[in-house]
Every structure is written in C-alpha cells, then in structure tokens.
Amino acid sequence: MISGIGKGITAASIGKLISARGLKVTMQKCDPYLNMDAGTLNPSEHGEVFVTKDGGETDLDLGHYERFIDTELTRKSSTMSGKIYSKVLSDERKGMYLGKTIQIIPHITNEIMNQIIASGEGSDVHIAEVGGTVGDYEAMAWIEAIRQMKRRVGEDNILYAHVVYVPYLAVSKEFKTKPAQNSVRDLREAGIQPDILCVRSDEPINAEAFEKMSLYCDVDKDAIVALPNSKSVYEVPLRMEEAGLGNYICKFIGLNCKKPDLKDWKLLVDRIKQPKSSVSVGVVAKYMSNEDTYLSVFEALRSAGWHHSLDINIVWIDSEKLIGDEFEFAGLDGILVPGGFGSRGLEGKIWAARYARQNKVPYLGLCLGMQVAVIEFAREVLNDPSANSSEIDPDTKNPVIHIMPDQIGVDLGGSMRLGNYKAKLNKKSRSFLAYGKGSIIERHRHRYEFNNDYLVQLEAAGLVIAATSPDGKLVEIVEHSNHPFFVASQFHPEFKSRPNKPHPLFRDFVGAIKFAQGSQIKHEQKKTVSRDN
C-alpha cells in the first residue's frame, strides 16, 4: 500500500512462525527495480547492502530474514527485474525461444516464477516478498507472476498476504480503513484476493476498523492481524502468534507441523524490554542520512547489548567533521568504525582508531574499520603521515592497504572478495578467546587487503595478527594487546549476528565496555570510600 510500513519484518515474522514449528523455511526478496543486484546501489538511498554467504550483494530485507529465521540464505533469495530481464534476453540471444516473440507475459512472468521456485528448492515453505506497492508500474509483471503462481503450484499450496496501513485521524478521532480497502481493491483488480491482511498502524486499531476491513476486503477476521507499532521489531512474531496467525497459515496451506517453539524468542523480547543501564557507542561513519545504512551493524550492537543487559546508545559521529580534537569522543564508552568505500571522511576514521588505541577505549573495526586501524598504526610506526590505502592515495609511498597484484585491472564489479571465506585464528589473540575456536568462516565484501610487505615491521611494533586466511596470505583480523579491546576484522561479522546469539566479536566488544564501566564504578566507589574514611 505504501512503502516503509514493514513488509520485510512482516514477511520475516511469518517465516519465524513457520520455522518455530520445525519446518524448513526459505525466503526471498523480489525487487521490481532494474538493477542486477543491490551491490551498486547507494547505501544512503537504499540502505545496507546485505552480503549472503555465497557472495550475493542483496537487499537489507535479507538481513531481517536471516535474523528472524536464523538460516543462512543464498543469492537466490534476492531477485530483481534486472536479473529477470537479463536472463530472458540472454536466452533470446542464444536462440532458446525458437523464433518466438518475447513478451512480458509469458516470458518475463515465467522467468519470475522460475526464480521464485528455484529459490524455494529444498524447503517446506518458501516466502517471497514483492517489493514496492500494488499498482507500481514496474511491479506489475511481479504481481502478475505471483497471480499465475497459483495455477502453477495449485491453490492449496499458496497463500497471499497483504500488508496495509491504517492511519488514525486525530481531528475526527477515527481510524481510516479506506486507503487499505482501496489497495485491496487494486490487488483484486490484478487478480489477487489476499488471504491474510497484516494491518500496520501507529496505535492499536479498534474493533470497528477490524470489522470494516474484514467486510470490505473480504478477509476472514481470523486472518487479519493488527500490528500496531511495537517497541521492538522482534515482538512482531509474538503478536502474530497471539492473534492465531501461525495456526491459521498452517491450516490454510495444509501444513503438518509441531506446536511452535517460541521460548527463546520470548526470552529475547523480555530481555529487550527489561530496563537496563546504558552505554554509548560512537559509530564513526559518513552515510549519516539513513539509519538503514548500517542496519546489521546496529542490530548486532543492540543484541550484544541485550546479552549483557545493556542498552546501547548509538551516537553517530560524522567522520567528515572530525578535526582531531580529543573532545570529539567525550562521553563515549566504545568506538566502532564500520565498512565503507572511497576517501570521504577517511581521515576522521583514522583519527578515531588512533584515539581509541591511545586512550584505551574499546574499539571494533569492520572492514574499512580494520584498514583505518592499520593505516593509523603504520603512520606512527613508519613515521610517515602519508601512509595510506592505495584506494585513497594510489601514489602513497607506503600503501599499507593495497590491492593484491592478481586483482589489479579486474573491473570494479568483478574484483571484490565477496561472501564466505575461512580464516584461522592466532591462539594467543583476543579474537580466539571470543570465538572459542581456531577456525572460522566469515562474510567479506572488499577489494583491498593488508599489504604483507609491512607485516613484519608492524608486528614487531606490537600489532597482533589475530587471524589470517588458512594459507596465511591474507590478514583477516588485527588487534592491539595491552588494551581493553581493540579488534578489527577485514570481514563483516555483523551479517552473522543474531538477535538472540550476538556475534562473538560484538558480544565481547560490548562485554569489554561493560567491564571497563564496572571497574570504573568500583574505582569511583573506592574513591568515595577512601574519602569517607
């Protein structure tokens, strides 16, 4: 009906209800835009690029899916018009259509159905979320394809869920269901009668609005679930379950399943709601306009906070505005530098890493956040303030971060290290302690690497190489010892973090903050005691 009302969370929550019943769920985002993947989209416009284990650069909704159903998805879980058209056009060039006229219906719609079916292979239930809104010009082929899907898989095997929004008019003190009715009408015009309605609203809707929706939209009252704003998105599956939606869906598609096990999830939500003390973490970044840009980073931070019964107050620090003043980090309990591309704001991030190292403030660096930590330290060790990454300064005398010789010349789209890679950990490192094992697999999305020409020198000066690729050639984690917590990884741990299982590096980063605070409190108490004495 309108964008931004939480289709992704709604879809992920339905996935949770089904996976909690012991069934295997896969999920997929279908985006009507013409890109080939989300990799080239501007994050400040479109939010985070979520990287799958097989290196797919996808829409941030896949992050919601993975966090809710706790399953690692693949690039097949993200498709868009660009991917569909390019497949159809390349098949046409190969002569696979045998001289036929290629048309939106049936060729594009068939390819959409093929990609949806392929993405669901091996699962009991597949959930496909169509992006955009009903009536969008570019979404039409998608809506038509999901309509036809009913014929393809049989009407007992498919269920249509529509997410609507019911506004509240303060002047007349009433909920307005008309826009929702209109969007259901548009959907019916396209040949789809929704089986369930997920009704978003700012406040809980009243019985009258409920009745109206059921009557005018022709949807069972049992199949309408009210989803007023909640404190945490993780409450949504519980709300749906309370409303009986899980059982309704299972009955509707004839799923034979167990009783839902949502114990862990309930504990999570209880933990989220408990009042806690809070700590402040500065996120030093350049994309400041949109919270979604670092969605998985924020979720990983928050879940580490819940684990330690702490609220994380995320403080945005605009790296472009940093001028190298100590006061710029006043009041922060920890500093995090997330991933990024290009030179804008880089000096500010380098300064943040230096401040954290020298002032013993817990630091977590993610991808670019690792590279700036290396540059920072190298500048001091080499006594060369111009040491840099060759991404930023191709002519620097000391490219401590560089492109691997075998990657030079590959075009931008193809030269990234993407998705899962193994790493082995140094047993004496802080990271080894966090993971509790010597071998890990993490997701990557970067082009530049630690330059091994500087390894011996930086290590001798105190940089801890905490993890490398199994062959030892690529540096994966650097640390500083003699510091409460200074860990920076070349990969993106945030993608593997879960709300009820925070990633070990995030968990221990926040743990170190908590510990530092505890000792500070003890220290202050001691001071008061000694003063009282």
Active site (annotated) includes residue 480: no
Task: With beta carbons less than 8 A apart as the criterion, state whether 13 and 6 touch.
Answer: no
d(CA 67, CA 61): 10
**What are the angstrom distances between the C-alpha of 321 and each of 282, 314, 317, 330, 454?**
14, 18, 8, 15, 30
**307 versus 446: smaller Cβ distance to ligand GLN:** 446
Closest contact distance (angstroms) between CB of 274 and ligand GLN is 34
Marked catalytic residue, from 307, 308, 483, 492: 492
Quick one: tokens of 240?
Answer: 């749906």
d(CA 32, CA 142): 7
Coil/strand/helix, residue 174: strand
Q: Which residues of 297-336 are buried (b: 16+ CB within 10 A; e: fewer)?
A: bbbbbbbbbbbbebebebbebebeebeeeeebbeebbbbb
Report the largest interatomic distance among the alpha carbons of the chain, rounded to a whole angstrom.
Answer: 96
If one asks whether residue 57 binds ligand GLN (CB under 6 A), the answer comes out as no
Contacting residue, 43, 47, 339, 511, with ligand GLN by CB under 6 A: 339
In the bound complex, which residue of the shown chain has the CB atom lying closest to ligand GLN? 339
Closest contact distance (angstroms) between CB of 366 and ligand GLN is 7
Task: With beta carbons less than 8 A apart as the criterion, state whether 281 and 308 touch.
Answer: no
If one asks whether residue 341 binds ligand GLN (CB under 6 A), the answer comes out as yes
Task: With beta carbons less than 8 A apart as the criterion, state whether 401 and 469 touch.
Answer: no
Q: How many residues bind ligand GLN (CB under 6 A)?
A: 11
**165 versus 450: smaller Cβ distance to ligand GLN:** 450
**144 versus 391: smaller Cβ distance to ligand GLN:** 391
Q: Which residues within the stretch 374-403 sit at the binding site for ligand GLN (CB under 6 A)?
A: 391
Task: With beta carbons less than 8 A apart as the criterion, state whether 403 and 38 touch.
Answer: no
Stretch near ligand GLN under the rule CB under 6 A, chosen from 36-44, 232-240, 334-342, 499-507: 334-342
Query: Which residues make beta-bridge pairs with 174?
Result: 169
d(CA 427, CA 432): 6
Stretch near ligand GLN under the rule CB under 6 A, chosen from 210-218, 227-235, 301-309, 339-347: 339-347
Q: Which residues contact 41 (CB under 8 A, 6 or more apart)?
A: 35, 49
Question: Can you say whether residue 413 is alpha, beta or left, with left for phi > 0 and alpha for psi between -120 and 50 degrees?
Answer: alpha
Quick one: tokens of 73?
Answer: 């998805």
If one asks whether residue 368 binds ligand GLN (CB under 6 A), the answer comes out as yes
What number of other Cβ atoms are within 10 A of residue 353's Cβ?
A: 26
Closest contact distance (angstroms) between CB of 483 and ligand GLN is 22
If one asks whether residue 350 binds ligand GLN (CB under 6 A), the answer comes out as no
**340 versus 499: smaller Cβ distance to ligand GLN:** 340
Quick one: tokens of 142?
Answer: 């998608």
Active site (annotated) includes residue 198: no
Closest contact distance (angstroms) between CB of 336 and ligand GLN is 13
d(CA 89, CA 34): 13
Closest contact distance (angstroms) between CB of 445 and ligand GLN is 5
Helical H segments across 344-446, by residue range: 346-358, 368-381, 430-435
**435 versus 448: smaller Cβ distance to ligand GLN:** 448
If one asks whether residue 281 binds ligand GLN (CB under 6 A), the answer comes out as no
Contacting residue, 64, 162, 446, 496, with ligand GLN by CB under 6 A: 446
If one asks whether residue 340 binds ligand GLN (CB under 6 A), the answer comes out as yes
d(CA 347, CA 3): 36
Question: Can you say whether residue 245 is alpha, beta or left, with left for phi > 0 and alpha for psi between -120 and 50 degrees?
Answer: alpha
**340 versus 399: smaller Cβ distance to ligand GLN:** 340
Coil/strand/helix, residue 336: strand
**237 versus 339: smaller Cβ distance to ligand GLN:** 339
Coil/strand/helix, residue 127: strand
Closest contact distance (angstroms) between CB of 368 and ligand GLN is 3
Q: Locate tokens 């991030």: which residue?
A: 349
Marked catalytic residue, from 66, 144, 391, 494: 494
Contacting residue, 210, 363, 421, 448, with ligand GLN by CB under 6 A: 448
Marked catalytic residue, from 307, 367, 449, 479: 367
If one asks whether residue 300 binds ligand GLN (CB under 6 A), the answer comes out as no
Closest contact distance (angstroms) between CB of 503 and ligand GLN is 16
If one asks whether residue 445 binds ligand GLN (CB under 6 A), the answer comes out as yes
If one asks whether residue 46 binds ligand GLN (CB under 6 A), the answer comes out as no
Active site (annotated) includes residue 483: no
Sign of CA dihedral 8, 14, 19, 20: positive
**447 versus 501: smaller Cβ distance to ligand GLN:** 447
Closest contact distance (angstroms) between CB of 361 and ligand GLN is 21
Contacting residue, 447, 462, 465, 517, with ligand GLN by CB under 6 A: 447
Stretch near ligand GLN under the rule CB under 6 A, chosen from 12-20, 143-151, 301-309, 440-448: 440-448
Stretch near ligand GLN under the rule CB under 6 A, chosen from 57-65, 290-298, 306-314, 446-454: 446-454
Closest contact distance (angstroms) between CB of 42 and ligand GLN is 14
If one asks whether residue 506 binds ligand GLN (CB under 6 A), the answer comes out as no
Percent helix, strand and coil across the chain, each to the nearest 5: 45, 20, 35
**198 versus 283: smaller Cβ distance to ligand GLN:** 283
Closest contact distance (angstroms) between CB of 418 and ligand GLN is 10
If one asks whether residue 488 binds ligand GLN (CB under 6 A), the answer comes out as no
Site residues for ligand GLN per CB under 6 A: 339-341, 367-368, 371, 391, 445-448
Residues with catalytic annotation?
367, 492, 494
